[in-house]
Structure 1
Amino acid sequence: MTEYETTETLDVKGQNCPMPVVKTKQSIDQLDQGAILEVLATDPGSMSDLSGWADTTDGVELLDQIEGEDVYKHYVRKTE
């Protein structure tokens, strides 16, 4: 398991689609280039939702996704 030096952690546990993506976008927009956002979610759909969002969004890179027992961790870097 890779540990990232995260700039900020976003807790969207208990929120379902589309809120994890909406909140991630809002948070990443506030960060500086190169910053890494850790997103903690409980919605299993966040795995595909955040992956799809990162693939189609300029300026962000999905570094990793970790499926825990009850929490999904996503690591997103702001590239622009």
Structure 2
Amino acid sequence: MEHYVIIEKLCSCAKREGLDQITIFDDKSKAKGAADKQLAHMQGSFCGKHEFDVTEVDDHFVIGMLGGCDCSSSAKH
């Protein structure tokens, strides 16, 4: 069974870094580990205008944005 790590919305920081919106894993624990690692990276190195969290949905892991995204694609971070 495949397990996905999904970035719900690619903000300008995620786009700038070229992150994939969906990453596929064959093992649920590896997907969870990758989601947690990606979350830590996004929380620690993005612009800081918003926070993210990970939610498990049907054996997949969705990285969602808490609140709205008010950074623009032209903003310098």
> RCO (CA 8 Å, sep 6+): is it higher in 1 or 2?
2
Normalising by the residue count of structure 2, what TM-score does the alignment of the two structures yield? 0.39
Bigger Rg, structure 1 or 2: 2
Normalising by the residue count of structure 1, what TM-score does the alignment of the two structures yield? 0.38
